[in-house]
A and B are shown apart, each in its own frame.
Chain A
Amino acid sequence: MREPDSPPPREPSAPPPREPSAPPPREPSAPPPREPSAPPPREPSAPPPREPSPQPTLERVFRDDWGRVVASLVGFLGDIERAEDAAQEAFAAAAERWPSDGRPANPTGWLIATARHRAIDRIRRERTLAAKTELLRRELRDEPEEEAMDEAARFPDERLELIFTCCHPALALDAQVGLTLRTLGGLSTDEIARAFLVPFETMSKRLTRAKHKIRDAGIPFAVPPDRMLPDRLDAVLAVVYLIFNEGWGDGRIDLSGEAIRLGRSLVELMPDEAEAHGLLALMLLGHARTAARFRGRELVLLDDQDRSLWDERLIEAGRASLTRALALQGSAPGGPYLVQAAIADLHLRTPRDWAQISLLYERLERITDSPVVTMNRAIAVAEREGPAAGLALLDGLALQGYRYYHATRADLLRRLGRIRDARAAYARALELTPAGPEQRFLQRRLERLADAVGEKRAG
Chain B
Amino acid sequence: MRYALLAYGNVDDRERRSDEEQRRINAAVAEVLERPNVTGWLRLHGTGSATTVRHDQGRTLLTDGPFLDSKDFLGGFILVEADDLDGALEVAGELQELQSTVAIEVRPVREEPLTGA
**Genuine A/B complex:** yes
Shortest Cβ distance from A170 into B: residue: B85
Q: Would A220 and B89 count as touching, CB distance under 8 A?
A: no
Question: What per-residue 1/0 map shows which CB atoms of A70-112 lie under 8 Å from chain B?
Answer: 0000000000000000000000000000000000000000000
B44 at the interface (CB under 8 A from A): no
User: Considering only CB atoms and an 8 Å cut-off, how many residues of chain B contact the other chain?
Assistant: 12
Binds B, one of A36-44, A211-219, A400-408, A419-427: A211-219
Q: Would A218 and B89 count as touching, CB distance under 8 A?
A: no
Contacts of B82 in A (CB 8 A): 218
Contacts of B3 in A (CB 8 A): 218
Q: Considering the complex, which residues of chain A in the window 203-228 have a beta carbon less than 8 Å from any beta carbon of chain B? A: 216-220, 222, 224, 228
Q: Would A220 and B108 count as touching, CB distance under 8 A?
A: no
User: Considering only CB atoms and an 8 Å cut-off, how many residues of chain A contact the other chain?
Assistant: 10
Give Cα A168 to B3, complex, Å: 17
Q: Would A170 and B89 count as touching, CB distance under 8 A?
A: yes
Give Cα A116 to B3, complex, Å: 30
Contacts of A217 in B (CB 8 A): 85, 106-108
Give Cα A433 to B67, complex, Å: 46
Q: Considering the complex, which residues of chain A in the window 156-211 have a beta carbon less than 8 Å from any beta carbon of chain B? A: 168, 170
Q: Chain A's nearest CB lies how many Å from the CB of B97?
A: 14
Q: Would B108 and A216 count as touching, CB distance under 8 A?
A: yes
Give Cα A223 to B3, complex, Å: 21
Shortest Cβ distance from B82 into A: residue: A218
Shortest Cβ distance from B89 into A: residue: A170
Give Cα A228 to B89, complex, Å: 11
Give Cα A224 to B85, complex, Å: 12
Q: Would B108 and A228 count as touching, CB distance under 8 A?
A: no
Q: Considering the complex, which residues of chain B in the window 72-95 have a beta carbon less than 8 Å from any beta carbon of chain A? A: 82-86, 88-89
B1 at the interface (CB under 8 A from A): yes
Contacts of A219 in B (CB 8 A): 84-85
Give Cα A219 to B88, complex, Å: 10
Q: Chain A's nearest CB lies how many Å from the CB of B109?
A: 10
Give Cα A222 to B86, complex, Å: 10
Q: Chain A's nearest CB lies how many Å from the CB of B115?
A: 12
Shortest Cβ distance from A220 into B: residue: B84
Give Cα A302 to B89, complex, Å: 46
Give Cα A116 to B1, complex, Å: 25
- B interface residue numbers (CB < 8 A to A): 1, 3, 82-86, 88-89, 106-108
Give 7 A-B pairs besides A218-B3, A218-B85 with Cβ atoms closer than 8 angstroms. A217-B106, A217-B107, A218-B1, A218-B82, A218-B83, A218-B108, A220-B83
- A interface residue numbers (CB < 8 A to B): 168, 170, 216-220, 222, 224, 228
Q: List 5 A-B contacts (CB under 8 A).
A: A217-B85, A217-B107, A218-B82, A218-B85, A228-B86
